Structure 1
Amino acid sequence: MKKILVPIDGSKHSFKALDKAKLLAEAFNSEVIVMNVVSDLIAVNVDYKIDIISQNIAMGEQLLDSVKESFKDSSIKLTTLYKVGDVAKEIVEKAEKDDVDLIVMGSRGLGVISRTFLGSISHKVINNTDKSVLVVK
């Protein structure tokens, strides 16, 4: 297992997924790619939408900085990035583009809908990729 993709959103489930990915990366000497996707599907006034996306990008950058800090003393090769777009689509496209061996993600995210059943994002990723997906509770 050479590459592990970990999408994070700041939820406790995404941090559990990150912890699991770190353990796997240490065991298999894998590279870890951590990504944060800012959704562009916000149904509000265009000016306000741009402000929300900008704020979410800033929060995503802080989140990725904290991930870098948590890997500081590790020998694991880490890559971090953020994207703006459809969350599930961006995850699937990154997995394909980088030919990852495994996607490790939380079972639920920060979204209201995803609190009611298996996270809609994880469900979409599972059903739209041929990559192995480990869903962490």
Structure 2
Amino acid sequence: MFKGVLDGQACSWNKSLPTWESCYMQILQARQFSGERDDYIHAFVAYFDVSFTKCHKLMGFSTGPRSRATHWKQTVLYLEDVLTICEGETIIGSMTVAPNKKNPRDVDIMVKYSLSGRRCVVSRVQFYKMR
């Protein structure tokens, strides 16, 4: 088990590159994440996996925290408040990703999340800019 990661992964978005529009805005599906143990949550981690399915031999890689290091890294979305989660409690969240209106090479990210637990009750929206 990777000690720094509280929950397993969940696929929020699956996109085929040949059909991907260059001007994208994606509202990622609402997801539920369950605490595997009593702990604190300081951030969410976003990363991508790639599968090259049209090759003769299936190829791909992951940039996830449990995968071998690559040139690409994870995106860490730090939370305004540290969340206290108990084993079995659930965080519900969603994420919107869109190009920045002033600079399309930048990415605007909006994260919505809520937790109604024994030690922590929170519902928040946070905004991030990736350059």
Compare the two structures and name the one with the higher helix fraction. Answer: 1
TM-score interval (norm. to shorter): under 0.3
Return the structure number with greater relative CO, CA threshold 8 A, min gap 6: 1
The structure that is strand-richer by fraction is 2
Larger radius of gyration: 2
Report the TM-score when normalising by structure 1. Answer: 0.26
TM-score by length of 2: 0.27
